Amino acid sequence: MYYAHIHDDGTVQTVMEHLIGTAERCAAFASAFQEEKRGELLGYTHDIGKCSEEFQRRLFGGPKVDHATAGALECAKIREDLMACCVVGHHGGLPDFGNPRQDYPGAPTCIGRMKKGLSGGIPAYYWDERIPAPDKPRAFQDRFTQSLWVRMLYSCLVDADYLDTEAFMSEKHQLRNGYDPLPVLLDRLNTYVQPWFPGKTELNRNRCNILRQCLDAASQPRGVYSLTVPTGGGKTVASLAFALKHAVENGMDRVIYVIPYTSIIEQNAAVFRRILGENNVVEHHSGILFDEEGETNRSNLSLRLAAENWDAPVIVTTAVQFFESLYANRSSQCRKLHNMANSVIIFDEAQMIPTCHLKPCVGAIANLAAHFRSTAVLCTATQPVLSDLFGQFCPGLKIQELCPEVSQAFRNFRRVTYRDGGKMSDEELAEALIQQEQVLCIVNTRKAAQQIYNLLPREGSFHLSTLMYPAHRKKVLDTLRKRLAEGLTCRVVSTSLIEAGVDVDFPAVFRELAGLDSIAQAAGRCNREGKRPANSSVVTYFQSENPVPVLQRVNIRAAQEALQQGGDPGDLETTQRYFTALRSLIGHQMDKTNAVKALQEGISGCLLPFETVAKNFRLIDQETCTVYIPIEEGAVVCQPLVDGTAKREDYRRAGQFGVSIYEQHYRALKDAGDILPLTETSAVLTNLRLYDPEMGLSLKSDPGKAEFI
């Protein structure tokens, strides 16, 4: 009798009980993409190595032992080498598969681990049960598709393993599930939107028309769709309506909403919870707080558990979390992947996918739709040119538009007039802003925002940038919204952080030349509710005298090409020219970390380098350090960080009082003794005179880089 786990109360779970329970769960998960047999194989073999005297001693305090390689060897015996890779890494992470000819016993690859096992390098284990073999080998169009298939099955295994262990060891397991079925959520949404029809104003009638088209299109089969809706067209609710109805009619499991910024996530998740119920919507991003210790709120604990594996009906997450998980190798990150299968995945602001990572991102989306029974919706007002890339990964996969009358929709929602302001100095720009009582000006760098703000009269003027901590920015936004509503003077100079989903409505907007999608986003802050005539709601785009940020040069060049000969930023034809020019300028530089190439071709003879790709792939470069600001409420929140008693939850709370700065600025503050370092990339500000109540953290210099938000 071999034991897998021993509970604190002395009860035991045998290895066979654990293997059977895990196999049943793993097979059920893998059934979402027709791989029940391999799911069963993985669950049944993963802990065979616990049938050893060494592991049984481990249960009672003995030294750690390798209990994973034994199951991998059993998989290899029936020629399921890729499943062996999943079993080998079910605790330590999915390793590079390796090279059967080159790898030595004990090499840090799957092949190296198995060679070590074959040479007697693992504890002797006892096993004479029949292994449930799959019916036939799986064929793939290429190794990239194969790599995602392996990750998906790995996800099934690690989640099944976690859940079976949790069911035996923890009372928390009973708090999982308990969600309302998708048909119930669809009924709630229909009830919520029913009073909107037919719409009392022209703007609302146009929004209802888009919503109706999305609901009508929901009966179509799984695939890849675009939803090209002008800013202010109600795409948040319209896309949710399509997703819920599409999921119900196609027998799908959940809706995953992928959003570029946490600020929009919080806003959209609040809308979804209001419509669908608190317990059915799970946010998963760096800014969400779950109190893991002393938890008494059952609902909050249930949401935290759901964030581990995304088994809730509606998931709201960031693009960073979504795509980095797809290329991860650690079990905790990969655990959720299988729940992307047979799901409707909405990519909000799809144009925000970084161009330097377009290939791995599009490749993942295409394969989810083509091979894992998912539906993807690219949702934006400025639809990028991606059809050719989808075709490269999955030939025959077409992008279908949910609202085919796109041109008419853009004419219906036209609420602004664009004006080319040409080249403007900071002084000329400031003078133009002073002529307006209520105006928003968006520039490309934090340094420029400070310079222009300093040229404005202080009364009624506001500054916004990520040099201000999030809680500070929220207070400023609340103030300026109130002033706008009351008709008071309100001149705002901001970086691009205000463009994405921030609900403000100005009669005039100035936007420094950037990507055409950024100009369109800025226009969404002008006459947002359509209460003023379009010809008196002017969006002025201009060229600054300041140096062009390195990271925006290509986007600006593409915008200049698209706007040549008087192109209108609000026209679909201009948008198409912009993205075509952008793709031309980028050329083949769409896979910065060579993730696709590494998975397709291997690295130095190593096939399927899962671990290597995971280490290299980051959707947004981690070039910044965080300085926490202990001012007002932040003083209390930051105290555990200073005392050295902070837990993970304390750091998350402190995020509302953190400012991201570039490494050279961090070093300058550190050398000057103005901060108390916590880690290599985080610190607490000690010289509080450096935090300005209007402009945020003062920096002695700024390289003029584009701002990461």
- Taking only the tens place, the pLDDT of each residue in 179-208 is 999 999 999 999 999 999 988 888 889 999
Q: Which residues share a beta bridge with 401?
A: 226
Is 477 inside any structural domain?
yes
- Strands (DSSP E) along 30-159, which ranges? none
Number of compact structural domains in the chain: 4
531 lies in the same domain as 635: no
Least confident range from 93-97, 197-201, 477-481, 511-515: namely 197-201
Across 495-516, average pLDDT: 91
Across 271-281, average pLDDT: 93
Is 125 inside any structural domain?
yes
297-349: pLDDT as tens digits: 455 677 778 888 999 999 999 999 999 999 999 999 999 999 999 999 999 99
Is 589 inside any structural domain?
no
CA distance 640 to 654: 10
The larger pLDDT score, comparing residue 552 to residue 113, is at: 113
Token digits of residue 331: 């079990």
Phi and psi at residue 676, to the nearest 5°: -105, 105
Is 259 inside any structural domain?
yes
Across 146-154, average pLDDT: 98
pLDDT at 291 over 60: no
535 lies in the same domain as 421: yes
Secondary structure of residue 288 in the 3-state scheme: coil
Across 581-596, average pLDDT: 92
409-441: pLDDT as tens digits: 888 888 999 999 999 999 999 999 999 999 999
pLDDT at 258 over 90: yes
380 lies in the same domain as 421: no
Closest by Cα among 278, 268, 211 to 245: 211
328 lies in the same domain as 260: yes
Q: Which of 169, 197, 229 is the last residue of a domain?
A: 169
68 lies in the same domain as 200: no
Q: pLDDT category, 702, cuts 50, 70, 90?
A: very low
pLDDT of residue 530: 84
7 lies in the same domain as 143: yes
pLDDT of residue 708: 31
Is 256 inside any structural domain?
yes
108 lies in the same domain as 211: no
CA angle 454/460/466 to nearest 5° reads: 55
Type of residue at 367 = N
Cα 32 from chain centroid? 22
534 lies in the same domain as 647: no
Domain around 637 = 624-697
597-628: pLDDT as tens digits: 999 999 999 999 999 999 999 998 667 889 99
pLDDT at 705 over 50: no
Q: Which of 348, 379, 410 is the last residue of a domain?
A: 410
248 lies in the same domain as 383: yes
352 lies in the same domain as 263: yes
Is 239 inside any structural domain?
yes
pLDDT of residue 292: 45
pLDDT of residue 380: 92
Phi and psi at residue 141, to the nearest 5°: -75, -25
Type of residue at 313 = P
381 lies in the same domain as 440: no
Q: Which of 169, 204, 237 is the last residue of a domain?
A: 169
219 lies in the same domain as 289: yes
CATH of the domain at 244: 3.40.50.300
Is 583 inside any structural domain?
no
CA distance 618 to 609: 16
Is 586 inside any structural domain?
no
pTM (global) more than 0.95 = no
